[in-house]
Structure formats: structure tokens, C-alpha cells
Chain A
Amino acid sequence: MNPSMITSPAIFSVDGMVGIVFLIMVAITVTGGLIACNSERLVRAVAGLIVCFVGVAGLYYFLNSPFVAMMQILIYVGAVAVTISFAIMLAAPEEQKKVGSGGPLVGPFGFATSALLTGSLSVLVIKTDWKSFEKINSGTIKEIGLNLLTSYSMVFELVSIVLLIAILGALVIARAGREG
């Protein structure tokens, strides 16, 4: 561990600004997630999901992978969230767009379950001493492309087949109840 990680940088230095941007990204992620799992209306939950995904894309940028960050915005914000909002418009009648709770006990017990899960995982994370290894390549987009077409080419092809079958299956299932 080098000394710059222990001493705190000044707020208006480059390192300090990077730290502030990271904290903003963390705040965006957590706020979006809270909106997505707490809001009363489904449309607002989808909006919270979009905010959360943008924050997660920022986190990926901080993890040295701008390509995955761009793909996150392209696929999740551009495709998945739009699909979910179309499904809300197609499926939910107006009075059901509110999400009531399932009973008086669901909220507290659900909160206790998730808080226990998060808390125990966080304690586990802090107590573990994570070892780091020497990097064998730089992890750039070029390396990703080379690996996708050599080591992981079989998985790459299989994922495309899975996506094709999923799209066909989705069309067949959603069309089944319709006349003509």
C-alpha cells in the first residue's frame, strides 16, 4: 500500500475531486436503488432503476472498465428499462399501478431480512483480508475483444443463441392469448 492511499488528499486537488465524484456516484446508486424498491408507483420504480443503473455505470468507470460502463448504459438504461416501462404501459391497469404492501408484517420482516443479509455480508467483507495478484495484462477494450474471440468464443456464441431463443420465446408467450 503506497502512502498516498493513507493520507487524505486536499479537496480541491485532482485526487480529491475524483474522490468527490466517486461519492456522488455512490449516492446516485444508493438513492436510485432505494427509489426502485420503495416507491409507491411502478413508473417511479423504473425511473429509480434507471438512476441506479447510471450510478452503477459510474462505479464501473472507477473500476477501470469504461467499456463495461458504456455497455451498462446502453443495455440496461437503453433496453431493459425501456422494456419494463413498455410492459407497465401494456399490462398494469390504472388502479394497480400502485404497489400496496402485502400485509402489516411484510415490511418490517422484509427490512429485517435484507438488513441482516447486508450487514452480515459487510462484516464478512471487512474482516476478510483480500489478496491481490500481479496483473498479467492491461484489461483494455482490445484485450476484451481478443479474449472474447479466443478463450471465451464458445460462451460468446452460446450467449447469442440464448438471446435469440429468449426473443423468440418472448414473442410466442406474449402472443399466445391474443386472437387472430
Chain B
Amino acid sequence: MSMLTLYNNINTFLILGALLLGMGVYGIVTRRTLIGMLIAAELILAGASVNFMAFNRFTAPDPVTGQIFALFIMAIAAAEAAIGLSIVIAVYQQYKSIDAEDTVQLKG
């Protein structure tokens, strides 16, 4: 297997998806601010999409299903980002901080 034919191999894409997932998990664990965690969550979603698209290209009989699933993941990720960021802004107005360790009360 040569370096230049890696794009014809499903393993390359699946390992890249696993790498994106790993970077996202690392970000979620180590970041302290809520926005940093949200950015890491976007990385995890990108990894999941790459996985779906790789299976769609190399194994699935119907090459439309994976593409449509990736489009739906994008729509849900956009909704998640909008809701998450508005929650971050609401938390900031309440606590004047977006540090995850400062937001310890359930009722503001």
C-alpha cells in the first residue's frame, strides 16, 4: 500500500474519523470554558460525518443514504450550536463568566 493511493482505502477515512473523535474528546475533557467544549463537540460531529461518508463510499449499496445522513448531521449540528451558544450567553449574563466551574448552582 503506497502513500499516494491512501484515498482509495476505507481504513484511511475511518482512522481519520477516529482521530477527530479523539481530538474532540481531549478538547471536551481539558477545556474549562463552555465555548471551548462546544468547539470540541463540533469536532466529534465532524468525525461521525466522516465515518458515515466513508461507509457510504466504500461499502453501502445505496450511495445516497450516507450523504443524506451527513446532511442531517449538519442540520442538527447547526441547531445544537445555536441552542448551545444562546445558553452560553444566558449563563454569561447570569454569572458574568463562561467557566464551567463557576456555574455550580442549579437555580440562578
Q: CB within 8 Å of B: which residues of A?
A: 4-9, 11, 15-16, 18-20, 22-23, 26, 29-30, 33-34, 36-37, 42, 45-46, 49, 52-53, 56, 59-60, 62-65, 67-68, 71-72, 75-76, 79-80, 83-84, 86-88, 90-93, 96, 99-102, 106-107, 109-111, 113-115, 117-118, 121-122, 125-126, 130-139, 143-144, 147-148, 152, 155, 159, 162-163, 166-167, 169-171, 173-174, 176-178
The interface residues of chain A lying within 8 Å CB-to-CB of B72 are 155, 159
**Do A163 and B78 contact each other (CB < 8 Å), given the known contacts A8-B4, A92-B35, A125-B15?**
yes
B25 touches which of A68, A114, A152, A159 (Cβ 8 Å): A114
A37 touches B27 (CB 8 A): yes
B64 touches A118 (CB 8 A): no
B35 touches A9 (CB 8 A): no
Chain B, 43-102, CB within 8 A of any chain A CB: 43, 46, 49-50, 53-54, 56-65, 67-68, 70-72, 74-83, 85-90, 92-94, 96-99, 101
Q: CB within 8 Å of A: which residues of B?
A: 1-16, 18-27, 29-33, 35-36, 38-40, 42-43, 46, 49-50, 53-54, 56-65, 67-68, 70-72, 74-83, 85-90, 92-94, 96-99, 101
